[in-house]
Amino acid sequence: MIRYSRGVTDTSRRRQPHDEAAHRRDASRAVALSAAGLAATGLAELALALLTGSVALLGDAIHNLSDVSTSAVVFLGFWISKRPPDRAFPHGYERAEDLAGLGVALVVWASAAFAGYESYRKLTGHGATTDLWLGMAGAALGIAGNQAVAVFKRRAGRRIGSLTLLAEAKHSWLDAMSSLGALAGLALVAAGLRWGDPVAGLAVTAFICHVGYEVTRELSRHLMDGVDPGDLHAAEDAAATVPGVRSAQATGRWMGRTLALDVEVHADSGLPLAAADQISRQVEKAVLASVPAARRVHAHAHAASAPAR
């Protein structure tokens, strides 16, 4: 178990809902089962795409199979993040989960580039689409498989508070929409519109780019220590409810799935050292109870040098 210095509170000791060992088991199970499901779906789609010549279905299949590799990246991120702090990394390794999430984002962008290129080639007259009903069956399989995986990962991500798993869930939901686009394109080809398949591929590419942007923006915000101002205001308001506190200022940063808050507390003038320590501990408890996202709080109380404005 990781031990923290005096004045730092780990919410795994304070709140029953957070069980780090159980959360990591849930994450590993979600990643492994999702990878197996995506591998089966992607291989089936790939076989049907090669048989029918559907570029939209081919892009969807490659996208699904690439997700299997990202699952390995995510698993590696979870494994590294559980290492305890040391002299080289005194804040721990929890940000490895966010770095793994960036790996997922890179795969999303690579998939977009591949799908766009193949769709353009098909639109300019390279290749034809055959065996439409088989292709449509493959697209329907892709929708069902990816929706199931997305729901599974989203539930696990929300349960353990993992941004990386939630990003993976968005990615899988994207794949389901990609399969839907492939299905629509094949339906247009069946109706006699040969351009339906490549145009659907381009539409899927645009959608992939949109989700890639959303995932990358959220992960970058974490890595840049972006924090919801509402959490900081809630922490300051909670600290102000502690007797003897005149004002408080909160700052914070994300460490993987952990929101760590630092609260600078200005107490009554002439505050003894023992009283400052007691107020700090009371503030930590109050903040943990008021900010659901926080898992670690470090409060430091000292006597105010001037009356609070």
Q: How far is CA 285 from CA 12, 49, 141, 184, 252, in A?
A: 13, 57, 50, 54, 16
Q: Which of the 8 DSSP states describes residue 88?
A: S
Which has the closest alpha carbon to 251: 238, 267, 240, 235? 235
Higher pLDDT, residue 39 or 72: 39
CA distance 224 to 136: 43
| DSSP secondary structure letter of residue 215 | H
Structural domains in the chain plus CATH codes: 16-223 (1.20.1510.10), 229-303 (3.30.70.1350)
pLDDT of 115 over the 80 cut:
no
Beta bridge partners of 280: none
Alpha helices of the chain — where are they, by DSSP H? 11-14, 20-52, 55-81, 96-123, 132-160, 163-190, 196-223, 229-240, 273-290
Which tens digit of pLDDT belongs to each residue from 124-181?
876 667 777 888 888 888 888 888 888 887 887 787 777 667 777 877 787 787 788 7
Q: Which has the higher per-residue pLDDT, 36 or 20?
A: 36
β-pairing, 294-303 vs 8-10, is antiparallel
Closest to 302 in 3D by CA, of 89, 7, 59, 3: 7
Look at 100 and 23; give whichever has higher pLDDT.
100
* Least confident window among 10-14, 72-76, 253-257: 10-14
DSSP structure class, residue 295: E
pLDDT of 309 above 50:
no
Highest mean pLDDT among 26-40, 117-131, 213-227: 213-227
**CA–CA distance, 237 with 302 (Å, rounded to integer):** 18
- Supply the pLDDT for residue 308: 45
Between these two residues, 181 and 66, which has the higher pLDDT value? 181
Q: Which residue has the higher pLDDT, 74 or 305?
A: 74
Per residue in 236-295, pLDDT tens? 999 989 888 888 999 988 877 678 899 998 887 766 767 788 888 999 999 988 887 787
Contact 62, 174 (CB under 8 A): no
pLDDT value for 88: 85
The whole-angstrom separation of Cα 24 and Cα 92 is 16
pTM above 0.75, yes or no: no
Which residues have CB under 8 Å from 65's CB, separation 6+? 38, 39, 42, 43, 46
Which range has the worst mean pLDDT, 92-106, 271-285, 294-308? 294-308
Does the pLDDT at position 216 exceed 50?
yes
Task: Look at residue 8 and tell me whether its pLDDT is greater than 50.
Answer: no
Number of other CB atoms surrounding residue 197 within 10 Å: 30
What's CA 64's distance to the chain center, in Å? 18
- SS3 call for 236: helix
Residue range 48-63: mean pLDDT, rounded: 78
Q: What is the DSSP letter of 296?
A: E
Q: Residue range 218-231: average pLDDT?
A: 83
Whole-number percent of the chain with pLDDT over 70: 82
Contact by Cβ (8 Å): 246, 308: yes
Amino acid occupying residue 152: F
CA–CA distances in Å: residue 269 to residues 39, 111, 265, 302, 303: 64, 61, 12, 8, 5
pLDDT at 237: 92
Confidence tier at 74 by pLDDT (50, 70, 90): low
Query: What's the pLDDT at 5?
Result: 34
**pLDDT recorded at residue 127:** 63
